[in-house]
Amino acid sequence: MLRICLIIVIAAGLGAGALSFFQVKKVMEQTMTERNEQKDAKEKEIAAHTKTKATLAKTQKDLKSTQEELATTRNDLKASVAKVADLEKVNQSLTTNLERTKSERDVAQQTLEQWRILGVDPAGVRKLQADLKATQSKAAAFASENKILNSNIRDLNNELDKYRDPNAIVKLPAGLTGHIVAVDPKYDFVVLDIGKDKGLLERGELLVNRSGRLIGKLKIADVKDHRAIANVLPGWKQQEVMEGDQVLSYQ
């Protein structure tokens, strides 16, 4: 009976040991499986991280390239805008010139039509223009000669008046002005910067003005084309006349 019990106990122990072995084996297999799964997941995570880093580096490189292209595009756009502005100015200038040319053409056509109606051809127009220019030159010469003649006539009339009535007042052009450019205090005469070119006549009288004050009176003694000599009249002398003093007619 004891032997049987021992056998039963041994059998029970072997059964329990076998059961524990199978349980441990199962746990180990499950642990290894979990470890392998974690390893695979870790490797996948590392691979994904490596791929993400590579993608990020490529994205940063592409972004830098895009920024450079954008800067270049902006510069090109700015240059294009400036070029367009310059072209618009040129176009405006050309348009203005074209309109002016058209206007001049229309005027020329109207003028030619007027000459055509009068029966004058272009050659005749040129001759008329030449004749007009020659006539204008002659007229200018006559005007200059007439000015000289009128000046001579005034001088002669003034010379005659000197003998007719020595005390007669010689009339000078209204608004006549000039300045004293030299003074001789010893002999009380001055030099003026005006002459026959302004209508000045011998024996004519001028007032001397300085800053709105009457300084004295002059009587013309000798007249040249652009200069004159005048004596200071003693009875009218308020102060010493000076270079730069203004002289003016008062008749």
Please report, for the chain, the start and end positions of each structural domain, with discontinuous segments joined by +.
1-110, 120-168, 173-248
Which residues lie below 8 Å from residue 223, measured CB to CB, with a gap of 6+?
195, 196, 200, 201, 202
| Confidence check: pLDDT of 118 > 60 | yes
Weakest-pLDDT range from 108-112, 206-210, 212-216, 226-230: 108-112
Instruction: Name the residue type at position 188.
Output: D
- Distance, in Å, from the CA atom of 140 to the CA atom of 2, rounded to the nearest integer, reads 172
Question: How many angstroms separate the first and last alpha carbons of the chain?
Answer: 181
Q: Are 234 and 219 in contact (CB under 8 A)?
A: no
Say what angle helices 122-164 and 2-117 make with each other, to 10 degrees: 70
Q: 231: which strand partners?
A: 189, 219
Tokens 């001789």 sit on residue: 184
178 pLDDT above the threshold of 90: yes
Mean pLDDT in residue range 203-223: 93
Measured distance CA(77)–CA(161) in Å, rounded:
87
Give the CA dihedral 123, 128, 134, 140, nearest 10 degrees.
-150
Task: Copy the structure tokens of residue 237.
Answer: 């002398």
For domain 173-248, the CATH class is: mainly beta
**Per-residue tokens: 55:** 């993608």
Quote the pLDDT of residue 21.
58
What's the confidence (pLDDT) of residue 190?
96
pTM (two decimals)? 0.41
Q: 5-9, 18-22, 110-114, 120-124 — which one is most confidently predicted on average? A: 110-114
pLDDT-derived band of residue 123, with 50, 70 and 90 as boundaries? low
- Among the listed ranges 23-32, 154-163, 227-236, 242-251, which one has the minimum average pLDDT value? 154-163
